[in-house]
A and B are shown apart, each in its own frame.
Chain A
């Protein structure tokens, strides 16, 4: 019974699973998590909005007439196509992956930082 050999070999070892909310695993540095938009660099070209496969980005017009993307976190599929499309490198992926919230407003990132 070769499985018993494996059971005996594994029994004294540490468990393989994590007690998730208390222990967290490290994600790689270039993990594709929630995206972060640097509105100072954004020129409002709308390429990210055009290429987003899940309509998670929407172009809104700010009071000063400039156009900037609004980010719906709950719709995002974390493919990071927008990161690639952005001609100004204003969007980048972060390592944040715990995105559940009770507050629906917190899932929408409104454009800000309209210094340009």
Chain B
């Protein structure tokens, strides 16, 4: 007789520093099913964006995610430029591409460290993060800060890349390529990694397509889906690169996809520096954005990011919507965590399976639903209803300008 037990993993849980609840249905040591609950990290960024101007929103957008900061600012700028409908200088496109790719390199190396940590291989974790520091230093040299870059602005970029900095960047890329190749060798041959990751967290190709997975998660399931190649933006139409796919569909495939993508990114940075035209880096665009709707999409390190902006003719957006890649990837977690036939999931594999999609929950939480835990009833309140309920006599919110 099977006896199924619910094991709640989270909101404070072993895999990540971010809150998320996974309820695993466990039969003995095997996980037979899982249920996700998100929404512990709602920050109201979209609403805050409606009170600020488009330029100020770039800096909020950068803080949606601490790791892919350039991506979100770039996407918002792209959406805004879509509404305005003006071309930006070509050099700015190349500089944005360099920024995006440096972002991807450091994010993938960071994830490799986290993955090593999840399988208890802390030596690799420390080494990878040490080698990631050189990328952070290059980014700091280029943009002026390590984490919040403030590089992208509406109509171009804020900083140029002088010749000596570009040469330094190329030197670092050469050294980094050697390092990353070494890590690839290590991940392929190291027994600890292969034993923990081979055949774990399998997401079959048809499941990945049906669940709309994005980014390295779907590419590790053998689907060549990459916004950089499918819908070229910035300077990706002029830079050749390979869309990396693996078809073993497990955690090892996700590790290898990310390492190979890092190598591709290094090549893109080199190519972009080589092909970069001279000229202005910024077009002066009006502060007040005309009435209209704009969409910006790009390939973040974790997958496709979409920003939607609607303007009513003022300098503030009427609506700003962000779809972060983790929201698309989260749906595949219950599938990866369900034992089926020969495929068996053990409790010890839950952290690495979950971490293998590189989740970023602060990017993801965009909406809040109220749930009465005792009765299980759920409902949605509008902003004015919440105001009426709780802040009736306290004018502690700012009226919309």
Q: Which residues of A contact B (CB under 8 A)?
A: 1-3, 6-7, 10, 16, 27-28, 30-32, 51-54, 77-81, 84, 93
Would A32 and B150 be within 8 Å (CB), given that A3-B124, A78-B145 are in contact?
Answer: yes
Would A2 and B150 be within 8 Å (CB), given that A28-B140, A93-B144 are in contact?
Answer: no
Cβ contacts under 8 Å, B124 to chain A: 3
Contact, CB under 8 Å: A77 / B148: yes
Cβ contacts under 8 Å, A54 to chain B: 59
Contact, CB under 8 Å: B60 / A79: no
Cβ contacts under 8 Å, B140 to chain A: 27-28, 31
19 contacts between A and B (CB under 8 A): A1-B190, A1-B191, A3-B124, A6-B127, A6-B186, A16-B130, A30-B159, A31-B140, A32-B144, A32-B150, A53-B52, A53-B60, A77-B59, A78-B145, A79-B59, A81-B56, A81-B59, A81-B150, A84-B158
Cβ contacts under 8 Å, B372 to chain A: none
Q: In the complex, how many angstroms separate the beta carbon of A111 from the nearest chain B beta carbon?
A: 23
Whether B133 sits at the interface, judged by CB under 8 Å, is yes
Q: In the complex, how many angstroms separate the beta carbon of A38 from the nearest chain B beta carbon?
A: 20
Cβ contacts under 8 Å, A84 to chain B: 153, 158
Residues in B119-151 with C-beta less than 8 Å from chain A:
123-124, 127, 130, 133, 140-141, 144-145, 148, 150
Residues in B47-80 with C-beta less than 8 Å from chain A:
52-53, 55-57, 59-60
Whether B399 sits at the interface, judged by CB under 8 Å, is no
Q: In the complex, how many angstroms separate the beta carbon of A55 from the nearest chain B beta carbon?
A: 10
**CB nearest to A2 among chain B residues:** B186
Q: In the complex, how many angstroms separate the beta carbon of B192 from the nearest chain A beta carbon?
A: 8
Cβ contacts under 8 Å, B52 to chain A: 53
Q: In the complex, how many angstroms separate the beta carbon of B82 from the nearest chain A beta carbon?
A: 22
Contact of A3 among B55, B123, B158, B159 (CB under 8 A): B123
Cβ contacts under 8 Å, B190 to chain A: 1-3
Main secondary structure of the interface of B (DSSP, over half): helix
**CB nearest to B142 among chain A residues:** A28
Q: Which residues of B contact A (CB under 8 A)?
A: 52-53, 55-57, 59-60, 123-124, 127, 130, 133, 140-141, 144-145, 148, 150, 153, 158-159, 182, 185-186, 189-192
Cβ contacts under 8 Å, A10 to chain B: 127
Contact, CB under 8 Å: A80 / B144: yes
Q: In the complex, how many angstroms separate the beta carbon of B155 from the nearest chain A beta carbon?
A: 12
Cβ contacts under 8 Å, B56 to chain A: 51-53, 81
Contact of A32 among B145, B153, B182 (CB under 8 A): B145
**CB nearest to B282 among chain A residues:** A84
Contact of A16 among B133, B141, B186 (CB under 8 A): B133
Q: In the complex, how many angstroms separate the beta carbon of A78 from the nearest chain B beta carbon?
A: 7
**Ranked 8 nearest A-B pairs via Cβ:** A53-B56, A32-B144, A53-B59, A79-B150, A16-B130, A2-B186, A79-B59, A28-B141
Cβ contacts under 8 Å, B133 to chain A: 16
**CB nearest to B144 among chain A residues:** A32
How far is B63's CA from A53's CA once the two chains are assembled, in angstroms?
12
How far is B151's CA from A80's CA once the two chains are assembled, in angstroms?
10
Contact, CB under 8 Å: B145 / A31: yes
How far is B211's CA from A74's CA once the two chains are assembled, in angstroms?
44
How far is B60's CA from A27's CA once the two chains are assembled, in angstroms?
24
Contact, CB under 8 Å: B55 / A78: no
**CB nearest to A54 among chain B residues:** B59
How far is B145's CA from A81's CA once the two chains are assembled, in angstroms?
14
**CB nearest to B315 among chain A residues:** A50
**CB nearest to A30 among chain B residues:** B144
How far is B179's CA from A6's CA once the two chains are assembled, in angstroms?
11
Cβ contacts under 8 Å, B189 to chain A: 2
**CB nearest to A17 among chain B residues:** B130
Q: In the complex, how many angstroms separate the beta carbon of B101 from the nearest chain A beta carbon?
A: 20
How far is B148's CA from A84's CA once the two chains are assembled, in angstroms?
17
Contact, CB under 8 Å: B185 / A2: yes
How far is B130's CA from A78's CA once the two chains are assembled, in angstroms?
26
How far is B124's CA from A52's CA once the two chains are assembled, in angstroms?
41
Would A3 and B186 be within 8 Å (CB), given that A53-B60, A79-B59 are in contact?
Answer: yes
**CB nearest to A50 among chain B residues:** B53
Q: In the complex, how many angstroms separate the beta carbon of A77 from the nearest chain B beta carbon?
A: 6
How far is B62's CA from A54's CA once the two chains are assembled, in angstroms?
13
